[in-house]
């Protein structure tokens, strides 16, 4: 399954005006505006395009926005920053409800998994559930007026930063925020190494911290001192290995939570049994990667 790397977004986030800016306050809009444009574009696309890719791109755009607002948190009013990050999470969750069904369906039906997991008879029910989730996602995003909300968030944050009396050198600021994100990832990796194999939350926290750091390196890469190729390689390994684990865990929970929808259609227990075995296998794989890093 595709991980969080939509074509074209990285280049926009690392825009030339941001690289040339002297202060973090001055650079903010150059980082944020392209991300806002992408999110609005993808939100509009979801209205017409029911494909998994459109929803995936929207969710990734909103996650990148949330990470950028986290990066600039020290320079923004705390309450407003928290509200904006909560908004991005809410919108991403709305898009994610449909995306979760896509992942579940793909896991159970690709290759010969359908035969082993007993998916054949429940497949139509899964597609029906996916269709209902898409309708809800579209309604939520439409009612939220994504374009207005994101433009207003960008305007509010940009105004606050542009009128600030203090100026923070962009490179110094970027180095500090990346360092803070790196410390968070190392702390969570340490906890996950010590955690019991059944403690999925510890593994999930590693995935989230790794994703945030990767976004920050994509934002600030051109202005950071020293290369980060080795770090990015490690982050991609974490994202791939822990992402596949998350897919299985989220799919297993989704199937359990919607057991009533599948009643009378095949054998959902067979699918749950297969997902449970796959979760344990991928948990071992994720733990093995942690030991190597």
Stretch 26-51: mean pLDDT, rounded?
A: 92
Can you give the pLDDT at residue 148? 94
Choose the weakest-confidence range: 4-8, 127-131, 188-192. 4-8
Measured CA to CA, the distance from residue 125 to residue 54 in angstroms comes to 22
Measured CA to CA, the distance from residue 191 to residue 203 in angstroms comes to 9
Can you give the pLDDT at residue 117? 53
Can you give the pLDDT at residue 123? 82
Residue 63 contacts residue 86 (beta carbons within 8 Å):
no
Q: How far is CA 126 from the centre of its chain?
A: 23
Residue 134 contacts residue 50 (beta carbons within 8 Å):
yes
The confidence band for 18, taking pLDDT boundaries of 50, 70 and 90, is: low
Tell me the pTM: 0.86
Distances (CA, A) of 49 to 23, 43, 148, 157, 183: 39, 10, 21, 31, 40
The confidence band for 91, taking pLDDT boundaries of 50, 70 and 90, is: very high
Stretch 76-85: mean pLDDT, rounded?
A: 92
Can you give the pLDDT at residue 132? 92
Can you give the pLDDT at residue 10? 46
Can you give the pLDDT at residue 133? 92
pLDDT at 6 over 50: no
Measured CA to CA, the distance from residue 212 to residue 246 in angstroms comes to 16
Can you give the pLDDT at residue 271? 86
Can you give the pLDDT at residue 237? 94
Can you give the pLDDT at residue 268? 79
pLDDT tens-place string over residues 103-160: 999 998 875 555 455 567 788 888 999 999 999 999 998 898 999 999 999 999 999 9
pLDDT tens-place string over residues 39-58: 999 999 988 888 888 888 99
Can you give the pLDDT at residue 112? 53
12-51 b/e with 16+ CB inside 10 Å = b?
ebbbeebeebebbbbbbbbbbbbbbebbbebbeebeeeee
Compare 245 and 114 and report the one with higher pLDDT: 245
Can you give the pLDDT at residue 7? 44
Can you give the pLDDT at residue 51? 82
Angle (deg, nearest 10), helices 78-109 and 123-144: 160
pLDDT at 190 over 50: yes
pLDDT at 231 over 50: yes
With H, G, I as helix, E, B as strand and everything else as coil, classify residue 150: helix
Stretch 86-96: mean pLDDT, rounded?
A: 92
Residue 74 contacts residue 175 (beta carbons within 8 Å):
no
Taken in order of first residue, the domains within the chain and their CATH numbers are 9-292 (1.40.20.10)
Can you give the pLDDT at residue 87? 93
* Mean pLDDT for all residues in the chain: 87
Stretch 250-273: mean pLDDT, rounded?
A: 83
Can you give the pLDDT at residue 22? 82
Can you give the pLDDT at residue 198? 79
pLDDT tens-place string over residues 54-67: 888 999 999 999 99
């Amino acid at each position: 399954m595709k991980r969080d790397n939509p074509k074209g977004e990285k280049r926009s986030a690392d825009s030339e005006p941001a690289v040339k800016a002297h202060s973090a306050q001055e650079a903010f809009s150059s980082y944020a505006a392209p991300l806002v444009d992408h999110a609005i574009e993808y939100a509009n696309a979801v209205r017409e395009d029911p494909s998994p890719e459109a929803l995936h791109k929207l969710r990734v755009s909103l996650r990148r926005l949330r990470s950028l607002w986290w990066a600039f948190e020290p320079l923004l009013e705390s309450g407003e920053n928290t509200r904006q990050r909560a908004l991005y999470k809410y919108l991403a969750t709305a898009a994610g409800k449909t995306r979760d069904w896509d992942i579940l369906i793909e896991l159970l039906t690709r290759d010969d998994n359908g035969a082993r997991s007993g998916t054949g008879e429940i497949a139509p029910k899964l597609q029906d559930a996916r269709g209902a989730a898409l309708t809800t996602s579209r309604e939520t995003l439409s009612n939220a007026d994504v374009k207005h909300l994101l433009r207003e968030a960008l305007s509010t944050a940009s105004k606050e930063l542009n009128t600030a009396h203090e100026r923070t050198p962009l490179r110094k600021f970027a180095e500090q925020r990346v360092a803070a994100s790196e410390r968070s990832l190392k702390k969570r990796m340490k906890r996950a190494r010590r955690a019991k194999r059944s403690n999925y939350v510890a593994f999930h926290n590693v995935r989230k911290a790794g994703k945030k750091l990767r976004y920050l390196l994509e934002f600030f890469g051109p202005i950071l001192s020293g290369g980060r190729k080795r770090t990015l390689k490690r982050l991609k390994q974490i994202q791939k290995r822990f992402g596949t684990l998350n897919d299985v865990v989220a799919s297993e929970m989704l199937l359990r939570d919607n057991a009533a929808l599948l009643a009378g259609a095949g054998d959902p227990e067979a699918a749950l049994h297969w997902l449970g075995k796959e979760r344990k296998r991928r948990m071992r794989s994720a733990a093995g990667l942690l030991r190597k890093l």
